A and B are shown apart, each in its own frame.
Chain A
């Protein structure tokens, strides 16, 4: 238990579906992140939020839409995905005074069919 909870753990969706991944942290952190991990590739940072404001968007396609209603919750809205978007999506959080100390959730396994 890392204090970062992701749901669902597994998701299968069609290319025309709309779904969302949810992340919640109970650590009192102010920064939250979405990472993507495809098979045999390093983790890729997708989005960063600091105090609910998006501070990083690493050239992520618009079919991925993040939402951060408060510092404890982060969503990743998914629509019209492609099969190559199938991956492990990891949420993480950290405290602003120590950005390098990041706590990750268990991840959401996404399969696009």
Chain B
């Protein structure tokens, strides 16, 4: 398996623009997670899905952030409008439904909002 795939790997945009980050989980994994990593706040869980259904979005910072999972092999995280404070590395992770918590991470998308 190719592992969790994220695109783009790097994104530079201007404040106010819409940004869409994409993730393809490992085939057969029923859980998908979106994280944000910054120097100041560390690693934060934004939202996670089970069988394409959002389970907990309490980590989504504000209404400018939205996430969807239209099918088992694809998810998006959208920021509209983007702000400089959204600059971070965004990770997608997936896992099997074992109840153990072992997650497999993608390489991340480094977002810079100017």
Q: Is B one of A's binding partners?
A: no
